[in-house]
Amino acid sequence: MPATYSSAAQAVHLLRVLIVEDDPIQLALLKAMLLDSGVRLVAEAVDGQGGLDRLADGRFDLVITDLRMDGMDGVEFLSRALALHGGAFAFSSAVEPDVLASAESIAHLQGASLIGALGKPLQIGELQALLRRAAAACAPSGQPERQRPAQAWPLSALATALEWRQFFPVYQPKLDLNNGEVTGVEVLARWRHPTAGLIAPAQFIATMEQTELIDVLFRQLLRQALADLASWEAQGQQLSLAINIAPRTLEDRSLPERLVQQVREAGIAPERISFELTETAISRHPATVLESVTRLRLRGFQVAVDDFGVGYSSLALLSALPFSELKIDRSFIAGMPLNGKVMPILESIMRLAKELGLRTVAEGIETGAERDFLRALGCEAGQGFLFGKPMNGPCLAAWLASRRA
């Protein structure tokens, strides 16, 4: 269990919860259960517009909404609310499973940080499990306090932050789904802002990618990550490292050779380093990607297609590029195996990966059922909150040590 779990569980009483519900009895019941569970701040709205007004006025960590409401239904409310609140949502309606699954997919695709569902009649155990998940989603230790929708930080602020070394890597464990062993970590960027707190990549990566700032970030994170990798190795844990790379960083023709030197100096074989490129980036910059991916592979590095399944890369392009790994986007994983519509898609992704000789990694595994299902489908590796959230270096070292013990 990640070290953050117990501290997160204690934070349930700090959650700020908004209920949007047009049925007064259901509203009163849910409110009473929340207060009984230790939540101190519960706000309410009786329709979607009221919910939007509350969100515009204040900050909430969790929004529990009815899906069936007169006027604005829950899905319209959700879409509009996500522009104001990028955090956790839960649905409290008794609706058909495929309608619920679609609402959950909409929330995922629009960037909600957590999605849950409560059955009717309400069960206190189910509600408390949801509260623990919401508390964990805004837990400390490298986890952003709240995933607000992308806010454009000006380039000058980002440049200063890089200069002042305010960005740091957090690491999310990657496991072999067959034997449960930790095989590596993915490096994810975080910004420790002096007044705004911990800031998630959604709020700075896209802006940085427009300029060379993204190259500076990549260099800073990789340097720190290689040092951490060497220190975990000294403690007896050999791990691989995956790091996200932007297409413009790949444009530098001297990059592959510099990377070889850098990993050599750190005493790490290139085979243990994987660069993750999103499917969208690949389809937008095929020429740059083809050249640089080939040159990285020639030097022994691994290259992965990230967020696979939500972009528009053609199969011809994929088969022409020498990737080593396919990371299945987490929007396909959420809610499985109950979401029957996703199953044939996943099966064909697995088949495709096998035919192209690619290792498969599933992102965003949150439940044991999702893990078991993916393993049965033949998926080799996985990442997700079920195994471990992104953690800073010292937390990851402690987490690894506790697993060994």
Comparing CB distances to ligand C2E, the nearer of 64 and 134 is 134
Partner whose footprint covers residue 159, from Mg ion, ligand C2E, none (CB < 5 to 8 Å by kind): none
Binders of ligand C2E among residues 346 to 365 (CB under 6 A) are: 363-365
Do 356 and 320 meet the contact criterion of CB atoms below 8 Å apart?
no
Pick from 65, 93, 147, 244: which binds Mg ion (CB under 5 A)?
244
Q: Please, which residue, 60 or 275, has the CB nearer to ligand C2E?
A: 275
CB of 75 to Mg ion, least distance (A): 25
CA nearest 369: which of 360, 380, 377?
377
Three-state DSSP class for residue 172? strand
From residue 141 to residue 180, the character string flagging contacts with ligand C2E as x (rule: CB under 6 A) and all else as - is -------------------------------x--------
Alpha-carbon span 276 to 243, nearest angstrom = 6
Contact yes or no for 243/273 (Cβ under 8 A): yes
In whole angstroms, the minimum distance from the beta carbon of 260 to ligand C2E comes to: 20
* Calpha distance 222→259 (Å, rounded): 10
Q: Look at the block and give the residue holding tokens 């060497």.
A: 230
Question: Smallest distance from the beta carbon of 328 to Mg ion, in angstroms?
Answer: 9
Instruction: Return the closest-CA partner of residue 134 out of 3, 307, 18.
Output: 18
Among 118, 188, 255, 303, binds ligand C2E (CB under 6 A): 188
b/e per residue, 333-345, with b = 16+ CB within 10 A? bbbbeebeebeee
Alpha helices in 73-123 (DSSP H): 74-82, 97-109
Site string for Mg ion, 103-142 (x = CB under 5 A): ----------------------------------------
Q: Which does 29 bind (CB under 5 to 8 A by kind): ligand C2E, Mg ion, none?
A: none
- Is 363 one of the annotated active-site residues of the chain? yes
Q: For residues 162 and 213, what is the distance between their CA atoms, to the nearest angstrom? A: 8
Please say which residue, 65 or 172, places its beta carbon nearer to ligand C2E.
Answer: 172
CA nearest neighbour of 248 among 203, 269, 278 = 278
Strands 381-382 and 167-176 come out as antiparallel
Stretch that binds ligand C2E, among 28-36, 96-104, 150-158, 382-390 (CB under 6 A): 382-390
* 309 is an interface residue for ligand C2E by CB under 6 A: no
Question: With binding defined as CB under 6 A, does residue 215 bind ligand C2E?
Answer: no
d(CA 291, CA 202): 28
Q: Which helix (H) or strand (E) holds 362?
A: strand 359-362
Catalytic residue among 363, 366, 370, 380: 363
Just list the catalytic residues. Answer: 363
Residues at the contact surface with ligand C2E, assessed by CB under 6 A: 113, 172, 188-189, 200-202, 205, 217, 221, 244, 246, 276, 278, 306-307, 330, 363-366, 383-385, 390
